Amino acid sequence: MLFCIATETIAQVRKTATPAKTKKTSTTPTVTKSIAIELLRSSTEQASRMIGTELKALGVQMESIDEESIYNNPKNGQKSGELLQVRTSLICSHKIQIDIRANANDQIQRIDWYLNDVPKEGFFALEKVLGYRKWQALSPNLFLNNNLIAEVTEMGSSGEDKNQFTYAISLTKTDPFVLPVMAKVFSTDTLTVHNNPEEAGQSVVQFLRGQGNKFLYKSSNILTSYQGKGISKINGYTTTYMFAEGTSVTVSSNKYQKLNAIDFSFTDPLVHNKIKKWFRLNNWTDDGEGDEEGDLIYSKNNLKCTNNDKEKYIRFAVSPYITDIATRYQNTDPIDASSLVSYYLNMEKATLKTFLAENYLTSIKVNWPGRDMTYQAGAFPHDFYFKSPADSLCYVSYEYQLSDTWSRIIYFSTGDKAYYEKMKTDLLKNAEDPKSKVIVNYSDKQFDKTRMYYITIFSKEKDIENKRKKQDALLAQQRREKAEAEEKARIKAEKDAKTSADIQKVGDILIQGLEQINRRKGNN
């Protein structure tokens, strides 16, 4: 059973000396061992051993270890970039997993504990071992000890057993932070993707301190996506600035460290309302409601603001200006075969237009020999461009002007040979599915002028419809031609018959004439 000694801690089960009996026996409560600080100051191997020992005492066995290396912009699955972080996952019994994240020097930055469907007693036992409840409580689930943070999340009961719950515990180191004397003034009027994220964070701290909010700490995180074979690529970075009374600000940037967003989160509705008024959102363009209940969207220049009074947050999304083609192109990522087709088939035309503009490069024209891109406001909105894995320009056109002779819906081209081969292979494999809605055509010969390979994708339904229409048209034509031939034959037969009758009549007249002549000769 999980946490079979749930009411006892490691320190309590160790054998201790029995005090001598006296008339007045004084017993000192056993001090619960705290290892959270030790873990965050250890190497990965040391921390793994400590965790294994403590969990074993609680009835949990370590079963396996997974490792993931996070590199700065790895290409083609190779370890070509700078090693930024290593994640070591301890897979344990009872659906427990512990992720240890360390930097390239094996200095632990964060330890995340995931406990799925465990009894509360077991969770409380682990809390006692970690000991973070003795730290300064910033909130019921957030604790601070100098440069160390512990955050607890309870996600409720997910299984049939309502006495078992799912928890997450994050042990993190804070980042050093010193507010410059001449920090830049925070203003939404000057926010662009080219703002330094660190300087943006400093200006936010200065701004909120000026509004009476006490700054507590700063912590950073790396956003990644797994690529397989123990390697992940970086998607971006986040830095959170925590203040008293549950106020926090998260500054996000992409993998190129270009500013993406600044998110304000509050627990006090009065603080939220005060900051909201300072931004004067009533002077922005009202873009209506957002996806989440309570979301109200506002826009100004290159910014989109989402305010939610119910959940008490204000989020600023920062986008490149539409004429900043270099940055917009840099922000793109390759599309995979499944998405290439499903976007067209499953998204409404208007929704797809917006999606492409937000995630890819649109509204441009290209001089293909030189790959020169310039802004063109009137470009077809469903033509879009992006980088291949080898940083080669790619082009896709979604076509809607289909006809009885035209069923092509997607045109894909790239100068990246390896990307072309993978896209071709995946598209052909998907097209083999009997449920597939497309037909794939390709050419392995590169266009000389553009130096691009291309793949064309046709609508199977439209193609079948067009073929049926062609077949119907052919059959109708054949029927018409047959009817016309039969009519011509009938007319000819009638004409021939009439001609024959006329000839016969003339012959009869001639015969009658000869007979009359002969009779006259006989009478003479």
3-state secondary structure 451-501: CCEEEEEEEHHHHHHHHHHHHHHHHHHHHHHHHHHHHHHHHHHHHHHHHHH
Domain ranges of the chain: 35-172, 188-318, 325-458
pLDDT at 42 over 50: yes
The answer to whether residue 76 scores a pLDDT higher than 60 is no
pLDDT in tens, 418-434: 999 999 999 999 999 98
Whether residue 162 is predicted with pLDDT greater than 90 in this model: the reply is no
pLDDT mean across residues, the chain: 86
Give the pLDDT of residue 75: 53
Give percent helix, percent strand, percent coil of the chain, each to the nearest 5. Answer: 35, 30, 35
Task: Please tell me the least confidently modeled range out of 285-294, 314-323, 388-397, 475-484.
Answer: 475-484
| Rounded CA separation 504/524 (Å) | 30
pLDDT at 148: 93
Output the pLDDT for position 494: 79
Kindly report whether the global pTM for this prediction surpasses the value 0.85: no
- The answer to whether 174 and 219 have CB atoms below 8 angstroms apart is yes
User: How many other CB atoms sit within 10 Å of the CB of residue 347?
Assistant: 15
Residue 23 pLDDT greater than 50, yes or no: no
Confidence of residue 490 (pLDDT cuts 50, 70, 90): confident
Q: Mean pLDDT, to the nearest integer, of 85-97?
A: 93
Across-strand partners of 397? 383, 411
Over residues 173-182, the pLDDT tens digits come to 999 898 888 8
In 174-272, the DSSP E strands lie at 215-228, 231-243, 248-254, 259-265
Lowest pLDDT segment from 16-25, 84-93, 418-427, 487-496: 16-25
Q: What is the pLDDT averaged over residues 290-314?
A: 95
Mean pLDDT of the 441-470 span: 85
Please tell me the least confidently modeled range out of 3-12, 70-79, 476-485: 3-12
Using CA atoms, how far residue 490 sits from 133, 313, 480, in Å, is 105, 86, 15
Among 103-117, 240-254, 457-471, name the one with the lowest average pLDDT: 457-471
pLDDT at 6 > cutoff 60: no
In sequence order, which residues have a C-beta less than 8 Å from that of residue 474 and are 6 or more positions away?
Answer: none
pLDDT, residue 278, reads 95
Closest CA to 88 of 58, 68, 108, 117: 68
Determine the pLDDT at residue 239: 95
